[in-house]
Structure 1
Amino acid sequence: MPSLTHAEARERAKLITVRDTHVALDLMVGADPAGERDGEFGSVTTIDFDAVVDSATFLDFKGIRLNAVTLNGQRIDPAGWHDGRIALTGLQARNTVVVDGVMAYSSDGEGLHRHVDPADGNVYLYGMSFLDAAPRWFGCFDQPDLKSRYVLEVLAPEDWTVHGNGPSVRVGEETPRRQAQDTSSTGSGLSGAGLRWRIEPPEPLSTYFVTLVAGPYASLYTEHDGIRCGIHVRASLGEALQREADDIFTVTAQCFDYYHDIFGVRYPFGEYHQAFVPDFNAGAMENPGCVTFRDSFIYRSRATVAERASRAGVIAHEMAHQWFGDLVTMRWWDDLWLNESFAEYMAHRCATAATDYPLWTEFGIVRKAWGYAADQSDATHPVAGNGAADAATALQNFDGISYAKGAAVLRQLASYLGDEIFLGGLRHYFAEYAFGNAEFAELLAAWTEAGGVDLERWSKEWLLTAGVDTLAVRRLAGGDQELVRVAPVDRPADRSHSVEVGAFSAAGERLDSQRVIVGDLGVAVGRPSAAVAMIPDIQDETWAKIRFDAADWTSITGLVSKITDGATRVTIWNSLRDQVRDAETDPRAALSMITEQLGDEVEDVIASLLLRYAARDLAGSYAPVPQRADRLASVNRLASSMVAAAEPGSDRQLVAFRTVIGSSADVDRLDGWRRHADLPPGLDLDPELTWQLVTRICSLSDRPDVIAETLAADQSSAAAVNAARARAALPTAEAKAAAYRLLVEPSDTSAYELYATAEAMFGYSAEQVELTRDYAVSFFRDITRTADFRSGWALGRLPALAFPLAVTEHRVLTATEELLAASGTPAVIRRAVADEVDGLRRALASVDRFSG
């Protein structure tokens, strides 16, 4: 089906104004997990809209059968429906269109998703309308600037609960069941034995926000500042919800108070529900009044403080969207940064200021690193103004640039403007465009009216250019030093950086610091006589790669753990990773620095990230295959020493033990731990640790028996996903062939199981590389054909997750470049591969240079 283009959206917006949309859903068919025709449901949509008289347009409908369409009481020939669009002609000033159809439940996390929980056989539904999936469950004019008031009426089984974008009212009127073979609908579109629910959101919504959560969900409720709040999970996660609810409700309340205070606008969408749903593709979706999250955030196993902090950040992010995106919505997807960059920035600011989970260290070591990689790849793009030609293309720009780089840039802007102007402009923006749509220029105008100056220059420097500058300290003749900015050769740009430069002693003590602004000209930096290192950007404030004087770097590699400021350590560790990526530093030297310094790191989020980096990159793609086992063994020794040094039962012990599992080559020891033998004091096996052990055992030996045994004890949907990962990790030709078929051929396998299979298909060990090196080449031929039977999120995510980075060979790069050059490569797959190929090129360059 064609993706809506920006030109088509502009034209349709000139012709029509949508007033009211009524959606009636019959969910009785499909409520029985073993029932016939459980893959479909009835949907009747009635839309009232204004139009230019005698004009023509189209309505979006991606059902499986179209029963009837009427426009202003006149039937339209269903033959006018093709490619997901229904032609509407001869429009009047006021119009009513009724679309009666049969829709398909999805299994890919988009449209109206249907999940049968293997733990108890219950059916759970949720609606995911982003980015262009709304027409998969109701007819609509699907673009962000055609907002409408909505009413949803839902017929569902008596034991279900139903929630959506507004308060849900249980009508309770029972009607006779519709016969299974009757596919027609009349009136409201509801029939069958069950209970009716009515959901009426209090404010207009864009189509991509409309959601529905229906099923026998376990729920908890509270109220904060007059706002009714609910949390909803599958019944099988009810016990875990009891453990996690207090923290979620507390963070939610703290975020409401913070946002109300700084935005000056109360939350405008009535109730606030947070539904943690199965098989969810994203981390969460900001549907007004009913945010949906992936249900792995309801921890069924032990979670660290850092993991709860990450969840708090996601909660704060989605709540920020209630203002950025929901209250004021972009007109088209090329301004998606108005949603994501702001929500990312505000979430870290809010969580740090208002909750027990300060997040700026996490932003620097995790989120910024994600963005740096994206901004140095072939697929880089400006933060703003990317000119997304159609909706499908826009989806590919939801990346580390739109999130992390945009947030980092906004953090700089807020510091430059000061909160009086920064927040004052936002308040004006909310007041001016509330419940409507806006563009970047209108936000700049709001800041200018609040007192901001020179914003056009700032936006040109930071929002409309791509690439990462390098800030480097260099020595001059006579021993003086200066800080210089070097723009990327292939993406030159004029940018200014305001950073703090610190001087450090051999004991890691900060002796002095100075604030400098560096642009095209270098800036002198004073160096105390006792300093052994000058470190730029000690507060991790800007968006740049950091480089040091060579002698200073030698000192820094031995004192990073002595530096007390976490932001400065983040700057150093990010520089180390950049140096490895740029083939400036031997990965073996980087691994030595980590093994020598990481044991004293006090921030678990830094320790966890660098342990994963050492195992996956330094002992994986950046290592020649024959050297990987030895390098991984050094990671295992580091993690084991960290377990031994940690307090029993502490987060540090758990973080390190996870790496011990993933880096161990001792199958007998792993299997002993799986059977609860000789575990470190203070560690108890929970379901997720057990599955980590199973997956590692299976990657080292042909042990499908441990998968079956663990599945017998754990029949959850999470277990099914973990089992898929373990099966794909098995080191046999048969297992790899089966995993490969799942990736490149049609099947009814759930999206999460496909993602897990993709993650485990190409392993880093020599044995796994030997098994998969031929698949790593054929993958780029076969993956393009998946566009024939996949769409949306899964179409782009699978090539990214399965990208064979572990097979670091030039012939794999050649196959990748052939895919990118081929004229017939689907755009979504081309972009996903372009995002990943930079990592392969860099790993190859490093291995080629340092393989001696």
Structure 2
Amino acid sequence: MPGENLTRAEAVERADVVTVDSYAIDLDLTTGPTTFASTTTVRFAAAPGAATFIDLVAPAVRSVVLNGRELDPAVVFADSRIALEGLAAENELTVVADCAYTNTGEGLHRFVDPVDGEVYLYTQFEVPDSRRVFAVFEQPDLKATYQFTVTAPEYWEVVSNEPTPAPVAATHATDASVKAATWTFAPTPRISSYITALVAGPYAVERSSLTSADGREIALGAFCRKSLSEYFDADYIFETTRKGFEFYENLFGVPYPFTKYDQLFVPEYNMGAMENAGCVTFTESYVFRSKVTDAVRERRVVTILHELAHMWFGDLVTMKWWNDLWLNESFAEYISTLATAEATEYDAAWTTFAAMEKAWAYRQDQLPSTHPIVAEIRDLEDVQVNFDGITYAKGASVLKQLVAWVGREAFVAGVSAYFGKHAWGNTELPDLLTELEATSGRDLTEWSAKWLETAGVNTLRPHVETDSHGRITSFTVEQTAPAEWPTLRPHRLGIGFYSLNDAGKLERVHRAEVDVDGERTDVLELVELDRPALVLLNDDDLAYAKIRLDEESLAVAVQYLSQITDPLARSLVWGSAWDAVRDGETPASSYVDLVLGNIAAETESTTVRTTLNQLVLAIRQYVAPGARPGTLVRAGDRLAELARGAEAGSDLQFQLVKFFAHLASTQEHVALLQGLMDGSTTLDGLEIDTDLRWELLEGLVLNGAAGEEEIAATLAEDDTATGRQSAARARATVPTTGSKLAALESVVSDSEAPNAIIRNTGLGFVHVNDATVLAPVVEPYLDAVLRVWEERSYHIAEEIIEGFYPAPLASVELRDAVAAWLADHEDAAPALRRLVVEGLAGTERALRAQAADAGA
């Protein structure tokens, strides 16, 4: 039986049978707290006499009428499909169903605000979840128009893809004392079902507008929950949006394709945001109720611009099937970074990209589950796990490389022609390459084969020979590839020469841009130049490749890392050092020393955050087990010292305190945390606000210095959605095996726990100083994996399987237990096996790093 899956073969077959014209969708949101009434009328053409199916996930189907003929729901509805037989050339299908609200962030999510008891709803449909709200041919190439009619409490805001119409009075289905209304929206343009949307509830709203390139006035809206509205900086969101509109319309030469642009910040969201056409939803963690790092503020800007880019790439032009998901996500990731760097105050966005996105891509590309950017997507389960560092970050990196290779002007011209030719349609990879070849004059067949259709990351190393006077006599770039993915690729990259100036700073004194291909590339233009202190491959980060430093450059980089003047160059050196640790070439303990000795001079917030996260991973999993307790103490001591010496109120001070709380391990650390919480210890410029207080408390819980009494008291002062999530995380942090078992059991057995509580419980579960408390949890975790996959929705299963993988153990015993599970479950769903395989790969890498550290 298909369950809720859909194969690509089935989608191709259905698209050969069906052409969809329109949907009319009537939703009544007043029928109670668990289900809502859904009536769908779909008009479509078909091959006469053919049979197919339409998708629906619903607890009850009341009526199915095809071309005036009543069909028995008990006969035609099974799993997630309604069977349709004896189709005519032109068809009208009406399906009446009771659909279910979710608390998983899929379909129509229902949230009750603990602050005021108000109900908030929002949809999330990508990949296959519009079928949880209405009957639909759920695949991206069966585009249609969508006309929504919604009945809800009169005082709610009701938002969809088209402008919100004036409501008319209606009857509330379950409570006559509540005034209801009906909103009848205009039909959308022809779009894919996964970018339709509905958001409803008593949201606070701010409104503005802008003038599009074609002279139209585009209405703007920014929404959040009422209880968060005092923190909502809608004016800044509008300002960023206007910058994005101007940048994209000028760059693409194509006006914004929809009628209005609303941005809605919603609770318990599974991801950063979603590009619903004209109705973009965001995680409400982007509504800042407490201080956040500059890195998070920048990330919000990139996210706003990423979703706006999707209005063209993804919404106006959509991939035919999910194997070309990268056409949506890689492009939006690349172009939003470009827009951030060139149209906003975050002009160092490419440094952020190198520090965070590239690190994500390199990590993903070295897992056993890596895949080509153009991935083989057999079914919906495949695509669910492919929202990963390959599809987003590697794809964006490769597009940056392509721009460097063909030239920006040719690239932009090709993209503009692509939009013009395929507007409102569906495309595949050759459609884009055809336009880029036409504008650039380059044959991209070989480039595509090597970059888009093969997996793996190359490593580039410089080999420099000099004469007795320090003049370069030979300069060669060596390229290698892993045995599993042996492709050697062409790279357009910069080579930077850095020397110490009179002030003791390492600054660039020369740069060459060259093409590298094959195993060895001689760079003749660098011969006869004086050897600099530091040679940096991939200067300016044009290429997608891991880089290594030659021995002399490495020694200089380690000694003078904090003195490199260019933040992007520093980021590349940080990244090279981290890659060497992950690959077992450099001891993790030396990386800890590098970070603790240089992080205080780092100016870029995302580089600080990424590097400190890597420090945590190095200490907790990569340092040899015997050295780990001492290294943990040393790191905590040093972070506390650096926090005391940091500029008052600075982003660096804030981050150092946050990571100190995360790594605290001694009574002295506990005393500092307690002092910061009760005010007996202060750091100039540091405010202990609500969210930071939770982080300090978690550090105390981690060390057994606080428990349920303190958690409950803090929650009583902050009984909000975020407070409840923080309390769940703190409770799961209690450093005992019993608490860890209870945390796992709470999410496995309680099917009512919402996604955000599960996510935060997992974060606390893996927050340990002594990882041995997790050893007894391995068996119950593995016992639960298959049941969770079979019984829970995809997003919840993923949260549990990934979030509760006991990675901090990083032991031979964990490796062997997980390997045994995989051997015993060879017939498990490939997407499930992929999640487990990725966990195992992390453990195996940690063991190799530990061995390298122990042998240093």
TM score, norm. by length of structure 2: 0.94
Residue 694 of structure 1 pairs with residue 697 of structure 2: yes
The residue correspondences of 1:422-461 to structure 2 (distance < 5 A) are: 422-461=411-450
Quote the offset at 1:437 in angstroms. 0.5
Deviates more, 1:667-676 or 1:558-567: 667-676
Which residue number corresponds to residue 627 of structure 2? Answer: 627
Distance 1:202 1:25 in 2: 16
Which residue number corresponds to residue 228 of structure 1? Answer: 219
Quote the offset at 1:369 in angstroms. 0.1
Distance 2:449 2:513 in 1: 24
Residue 642 of structure 1 pairs with residue 642 of structure 2: yes
Distance 2:200 2:317 in 1: 28
Distance 1:527 1:689, change over 3 A: farther
Amino acid at match of 1:457: E
Q: String of CA shifts for 1:587-631, please: whole Å, max 9, x gaps.
A: 1111111122222112222122212211x2121111234433322
Residue 512 of structure 1 pairs with residue 510 of structure 2: yes
Which residue number corresponds to residue 44 of structure 1? Answer: 39
Q: Is the contact made by 1:698 and 1:730 (CA closer than 8 Å) also made in structure 2?
A: yes
Residue 744 of structure 1 pairs with residue 755 of structure 2: no
The residue correspondences of 1:578-617 to structure 2 (distance < 5 A) are: 578-614=579-615, 616-617=616-617
Quote the offset at 1:450 in angstroms. 2.2
Distance 2:749 2:169 in 1: 45
Q: Is the contact made by 1:469 and 1:544 (CA closer than 8 Å) also made in structure 2?
A: yes
- The SS at the match of 1:509 is strand
Distance 1:527 1:630 in 2: 48
Quote the offset at 1:418 in angstroms. 1.8
Identity in percent: 36
TM score, norm. by length of structure 1: 0.95
Distance 1:106 1:94 in 2: 34
The residue correspondences of 1:180-191 to structure 2 (distance < 5 A) are: none
Q: Is the contact made by 2:507 and 2:566 (CA closer than 8 Å) also made in structure 1?
A: no
Distance 2:333 2:71 in 1: 45
The equivalent position to 1:376 in structure 2, one of 354, 366, 375, is 366
Distance 1:808 1:774 in 2: 14
Q: Is the contact made by 1:776 and 1:807 (CA closer than 8 Å) also made in structure 2?
A: no
Which residue number corresponds to residue 671 of structure 1? Answer: 674
Q: Is the contact made by 1:481 and 1:527 (CA closer than 8 Å) also made in structure 2?
A: no
Distance 1:300 1:18 in 2: 45
Residue 811 of structure 1 pairs with residue 813 of structure 2: yes
Q: Is the contact made by 1:618 and 1:631 (CA closer than 8 Å) also made in structure 2?
A: no
Q: Is the contact made by 2:401 and 2:543 (CA closer than 8 Å) also made in structure 1?
A: yes
The residue correspondences of 1:776-815 to structure 2 (distance < 5 A) are: 776-815=778-817
Quote the offset at 1:641 in angstroms. 3.3
Distance 2:731 2:542 in 1: 43
Q: Is the contact made by 1:608 and 1:656 (CA closer than 8 Å) also made in structure 2?
A: no
Distance 2:571 2:515 in 1: 21
Distance 2:719 2:768 in 1: 29
Distance 1:48 1:193, change over 3 A: farther
The residue correspondences of 1:238-257 to structure 2 (distance < 5 A) are: 238-241=229-232, 244-257=233-246
Q: Is the contact made by 2:758 and 2:799 (CA closer than 8 Å) also made in structure 1?
A: no
The residue correspondences of 1:157-168 to structure 2 (distance < 5 A) are: 157-168=153-164
Which residue number corresponds to residue 850 of structure 1? Answer: 853
Distance 1:322 1:262 in 2: 14
Distance 1:201 1:361, change over 3 A: farther
Q: String of CA shifts for 1:628-656, please: whole Å, max 9, x gaps.
A: 33222332233223323322122222122
Which residue number corresponds to residue 416 of structure 1? Answer: 405
Residue 760 of structure 1 pairs with residue 746 of structure 2: no
Q: String of CA shifts for 1:221-271, please: whole Å, max 9, x gaps.
A: 111111111111111111011xx2122111111000000101111111111
Q: Is the contact made by 1:762 and 1:807 (CA closer than 8 Å) also made in structure 2?
A: no
Q: String of CA shifts for 1:82-126, please: whole Å, max 9, x gaps.
A: 011011111111110000010110010001000011111111000
Quote the offset at 1:426 in angstroms. 1.0
Distance 1:625 1:586 in 2: 13
Amino acid at match of 1:162: V
Q: Is the contact made by 2:737 and 2:777 (CA closer than 8 Å) also made in structure 1?
A: no
Quote the offset at 1:423 in angstroms. 1.2
Quote the offset at 1:210 in angstroms. 1.3
Q: Is the contact made by 1:306 and 1:605 (CA closer than 8 Å) also made in structure 2?
A: yes
Distance 2:528 2:165 in 1: 69
Which residue number corresponds to residue 560 of structure 1? Answer: 561
The equivalent position to 1:23 in structure 2, one of 8, 25, 29, is 25
Q: Is the contact made by 1:170 and 1:195 (CA closer than 8 Å) also made in structure 2?
A: no
Distance 2:392 2:174 in 1: 49
The residue correspondences of 1:335-354 to structure 2 (distance < 5 A) are: 335-354=324-343
Q: Is the contact made by 1:537 and 1:568 (CA closer than 8 Å) also made in structure 2?
A: no
Residue 360 of structure 1 pairs with residue 359 of structure 2: no
Quote the offset at 1:668 in angstroms. 3.2
Amino acid at match of 2:340: A
Aligned residues: 829
Q: 5+ residue gaps in structure 1?
A: 31-37, 182-190
Distance 1:752 1:258 in 2: 35
Q: Is the contact made by 1:469 and 1:487 (CA closer than 8 Å) also made in structure 2?
A: yes
Q: RMSD of aligned C-alpha atoms?
A: 1.8
Which residue number corresponds to residue 657 of structure 2? Answer: 657
Deviates more, 1:293-302 or 1:627-636: 627-636
Quote the offset at 1:200 in angstroms. 2.4
Residue 74 of structure 1 pairs with residue 69 of structure 2: yes
- The SS at the match of 2:539 is coil
Q: String of CA shifts for 1:799-841, please: whole Å, max 9, x gaps.
A: 2222221001111111222333322433332222223332211
- The SS at the match of 2:600 is helix
Quote the offset at 1:165 in angstroms. 0.8
- The SS at the match of 1:788 is helix
Amino acid at match of 1:799: I
Q: Is the contact made by 2:123 and 2:198 (CA closer than 8 Å) also made in structure 1?
A: yes
- The SS at the match of 1:399 is coil
Q: String of CA shifts for 1:530-580, please: whole Å, max 9, x gaps.
A: 622322112111111111222321121111211111121111111111100
Distance 1:774 1:535 in 2: 46
